[in-house]
């Protein structure tokens, strides 16, 4: 996937484009290399992702199926290709470049619109875009010990012209913006990652360059296995009462995800929050799997807190440790609802 010809870019939600690349991004350390992912956008471990093609030929579909499956050899996720209208992932083949929304951002996109696009196809670009779909970020956007010093006039000229024709906002967001990291493991960039752009030495002021990476690196494979580990999952979700105190829970092994359900009987503002010393990430989903909200640090200390206006119905709460590679610990979780004002 040579950057000097065609370049993948991240599809981001409008709110994300208006602010720095915030949100907690963790790096998984293996020796001195790392793979980086945006933890708040990870799928629940063990998820079956339904994938629907929008257009394209049978040969294109077969190529995507063939190469995308490499991720599931290491990640505890399943890819189910079909025609389900409510598929979380929709893959198009328009002449619109190569891009993907990152992780669960796909749930915010209308069901008739693509969440991933292939303007061209080869093994490297398929692996790269599906890496984004799993929650991986571009390796060159890590801020820690990043050796890249961009020659911005050269990069701007190259990406602003054919075949990419990027505007300055797209270039800034995909090339120069750095993620805001509060936890880093590892100290050097993985030069073999399929998530690292290929670019020539002329694009940097210090001669740093990257060769095309067309296959998963050792670190990419380890990332998939650690972030989506094949650990035994708890049996079924736990029902959370509303207004009835704290439900005690525990993340007993690294990579475990706890699932809870509760019933919103009336339309109102509901608050779901955790307490205790364990640093967790919490996601609130509608009954159809659509994303309502996600949080890790809005509560007291390192606790998660989500407050949202909900319609009547059933909702799922997903809780995982912030450090999915080694984190465990006890926590409490509770649901409350705003009381209607006295009439």
Task: Name the CATH architecture for the domain at 8-227.
Answer: 3-Layer(aba) Sandwich (3.40)
Q: Which two tokens stand for residue 80?
A: 């189910």
Confidence of residue 45 (pLDDT cuts 50, 70, 90): confident
Confidence of residue 255 (pLDDT cuts 50, 70, 90): confident
**Geometric angle at alpha carbon 219, from 216 and 221, rounded to 5°:** 55
Q: In what order do the strands lie in the sheet with 257-264?
A: 238-239, 257-264, 313-321, 280-286, 291-295
Supply the DSSP string of 111-170, one letter for each residue.
TTS-SEE-SS--HHHHHHHHHHHHTB--GGG--TT----B-HHHHHHHHHSTTT---HHH
CA 115 to chain centre: 13
Confidence of residue 64 (pLDDT cuts 50, 70, 90): very high
Mean pLDDT in residue range 161-174: 85
Share of the chain above pLDDT 70, in %: 78
Q: Domain-by-domain residue ranges, the chain? A: 8-227, 238-337
pLDDT reported for residue 68: 98
Lowest-confidence range among 154-158, 183-187, 334-338? 183-187
Q: Tell me which residue of 60, 63, 118, 111 sits closest to 84, measured CA to CA.
A: 111
Any idea which residue has 């890590």 for tokens? 142
pLDDT reported for residue 170: 84
pLDDT reported for residue 340: 52
Q: Which residues pair with 336 in a beta bridge?
A: 271
Supply the DSSP string of 76-97, one letter for each residue.
S-EEEEE--TT-SEEEE--SS-
pLDDT reported for residue 34: 41
CA distance 307 to 58: 45
Confidence of residue 58 (pLDDT cuts 50, 70, 90): very high
pLDDT reported for residue 78: 94
CATH class of 238-337: mainly beta
Mean pLDDT in residue range 69-95: 95
Lowest-confidence range among 62-66, 121-125, 232-236, 301-305? 232-236
Mean pLDDT in residue range 239-250: 90
Q: What is the pLDDT of residues 187-217, one digit of tens each?
A: 356 778 888 888 899 999 999 888 888 899 9
pLDDT reported for residue 66: 97
Q: 3-class SS at 175?
A: helix
Lowest-confidence range among 46-55, 140-149, 235-244? 140-149
pLDDT reported for residue 154: 96
């Amino acid at each position: 996937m040579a950057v000097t010809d065609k370049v993948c870019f991240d599809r981001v939600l409008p709110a994300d484009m208006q602010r720095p690349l915030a949100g907690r991004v963790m790096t998984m350390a293996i020796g001195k290399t790392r793979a980086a992912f945006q933890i708040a956008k990870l799928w629940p471990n063990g998820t079956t992702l339904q994938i629907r093609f929008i257009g394209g030929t049978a040969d294109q579909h077969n190529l995507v199926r063939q190469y995308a499956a490499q991720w599931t050899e290491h990640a505890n996720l399943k890819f189910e290709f079909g025609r389900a209208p409510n598929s979380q992932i929709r893959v198009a083949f328009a002449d619109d470049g190569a891009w993907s929304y990152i992780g669960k951002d796909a749930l915010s996109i209308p069901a008739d619109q693509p969440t991933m696009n292939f303007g061209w196809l080869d093994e490297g670009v398929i692996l790269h875009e599906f890496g984004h779909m799993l929650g991986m970020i571009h390796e060159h956007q890590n801020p820690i010990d990043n050796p890249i010093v961009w020659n911005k006039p050269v990069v701007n000229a190259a990406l602003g012209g054919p075949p990419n024709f990027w505007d300055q906002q797209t270039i800034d967001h995909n090339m120069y913006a750095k993620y805001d990291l509060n936890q880093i493991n590892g100290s050097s960039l993985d030069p073999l990652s399929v998530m690292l752009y290929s670019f020539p030495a002329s694009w940097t002021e210090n001669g740093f360059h990257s060769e095309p990476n067309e296959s998963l690196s050792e670190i990419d494979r380890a990332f998939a296995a650690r972030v989506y580990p094949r650990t035994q999952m708890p049996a079924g979700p736990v029902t959370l009462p509303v207004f009835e105190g704290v439900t005690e829970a525990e993340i007993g092994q690294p990579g475990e995800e706890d699932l809870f359900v509760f019933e919103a009987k009336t339309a109102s503002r509901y608050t779901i929050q955790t307490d205790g010393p364990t640093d967790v990430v919490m996601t609130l989903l509608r009954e159809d799997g659509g994303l309502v909200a996600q949080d890790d640090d809005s509560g007291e200390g390192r606790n998660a807190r989500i407050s949202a206006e909900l319609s009547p119905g059933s909702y799922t709460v997903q809780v995982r440790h912030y450090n999915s590679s080694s984190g465990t610990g006890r926590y409490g979780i509770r649901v409350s609802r705003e009381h209607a004002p006295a009439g």
